[in-house]
């Protein structure tokens, strides 16, 4: 699968089969994340890979928009240093890299908001986060138990593309 195919095939998968994901695959996903671009090349991130079932269940309990984490085989939490001015952008670039790599590996994934959410400090505490880092996103992962919806609900290219100026 090339990058464009991953972009087209990726969708927010919120239902997963019970199959585990190997450590090698999870390491490859974090590798994809750490190769994303960052402002001033600072690479202000750290990644926590969670496969422990009780931690996944606790995350699902705390994160109201991520209840489906309970059925995921793994979750990658993306953190960035809170003293950098592009922490959200940098963490988001890493998040998208991970989503695309997961798609290429045949895994289902979903971007779950982290920054500015009421559960952000709760998740940070649960994952024993050092004070200089903040949660940017959670990525649920697993063998998909659902297929990509046929209707992508996307604006058309004509609606959003402007040449030279508006």
Ligand X SMILES: Cc1cc2nc3c(=O)[nH]c(=O)nc-3n(C[C@H](O)[C@H](O)[C@H](O)COP(=O)(O)O)c2cc1C
Q: Which residues bind ligand X (CB under 6 A)?
A: 11-12, 14, 65-66, 110-113
Q: Which is nearer to ligand X, 30 or 139 (CB)?
A: 139
| Residue closest to ligand X, measured at CB | 65
List Cβ neighbours of 139 (8 Å cut-off, separation of 6 or more): 75, 76, 77, 78, 95, 98, 99, 102, 109, 110, 111, 112
Q: Which is nearer to ligand X, 11 or 86 (CB)?
A: 11
**Minimum distance, C-beta of residue 161 to ligand X, in the bound complex (Å):** 19
Q: Which is nearer to ligand X, 22 or 120 (CB)?
A: 120
**Minimum distance, C-beta of residue 112 to ligand X, in the bound complex (Å):** 4
**Minimum distance, C-beta of residue 63 to ligand X, in the bound complex (Å):** 7
Nearest 5°: phi and psi at 146?
-145, 160
Q: Which is nearer to ligand X, 81 or 148 (CB)?
A: 148
- Reported as type and span, the H/E element at residue 155 is none
CA nearest to 138, candidates 64, 42, 28, 85: 64
**Minimum distance, C-beta of residue 113 to ligand X, in the bound complex (Å):** 4
Say which DSSP state 71 is in: G
Identify any residues that bridge with 135 across adjacent strands, giving them in sequence order.
79
**Minimum distance, C-beta of residue 165 to ligand X, in the bound complex (Å):** 27
Q: Which is nearer to ligand X, 14 or 134 (CB)?
A: 14
* Cα–Cα distance measured from residue 30 to residue 27, given in angstroms and rounded to the nearest whole number: 5
């Amino acid at each position: 699968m090339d990058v464009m195919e991953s972009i087209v095939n990726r969708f927010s998968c919120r239902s997963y089969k019970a199959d585990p994901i190997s450590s090698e695959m999870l390491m490859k996903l974090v590798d994809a994340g750490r190769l994303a671009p960052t402002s001033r090349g600072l690479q202000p991130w750290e990644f926590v890979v969670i496969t422990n079932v009780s931690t996944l269940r606790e995350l699902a309990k705390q994160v109201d928009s991520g209840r489906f984490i309970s059925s995921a085989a793994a979750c990658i939490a993306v953190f960035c240093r809170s003293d950098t001015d592009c922490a959200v952008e940098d963490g988001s670039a890493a998040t998208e890299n991970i989503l695309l790599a997961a798609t290429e590996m045949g895994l289902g994934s979903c971007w779950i908001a982290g920054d500015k959410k009421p559960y952000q400090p709760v998740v940070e505490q649960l994952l024993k986060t050092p004070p200089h880092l903040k949660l940017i996103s959670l990525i649920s992962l697993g063998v998909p138990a659902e297929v990509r919806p046929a209707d992508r609900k996307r604006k058309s290219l004509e609606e959003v593309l402007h040449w030279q100026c508006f």
